[in-house]
Amino acid sequence: MARTLKTLDETDLEAALMRKSVDTLEAGRHTCADCGRTPLVGERVYRFGSASSVCALCTPLRRAEPDAVELVRHSECGITVRRITPRAA
């Protein structure tokens, strides 16, 4: 009995590439420890302990005071190219 080889068509390739890119983006993002939501840029994130970060929507569910409050920044913050003007000697 002859075995047929599975060939990829364009839709399979598109789906595989899309899945790979979404997985790559998900790996680098921070999520809320309670609801799993990704906080928006400009939103405040509350840190409880060293590893637990909670979004502003889930903070009222916690009884303890947060250890730190951080502002969510754009992913390019600190990575962008900046022009440096030379200082006069």
Q: What is the pLDDT along the chain (89 residues), one digit of tens a residue?
A: 566 656 667 788 888 888 888 887 776 677 888 888 888 888 888 988 877 788 888 888 888 888 888 888 776 655 555 556 666 65
Query: Which H helix or E strand runs over 48?
Result: strand 44-48
Question: Of 30, 75, 27, which Cα lies nearest the Cα of 55?
Answer: 30
Query: Which strands make up the sheet holding 44-48, listed edge to edge?
Result: 52-55, 44-48, 68-71
Q: What is the pLDDT of residue 13?
A: 84
Task: Please state the pTM of the whole predicted model.
Answer: 0.55
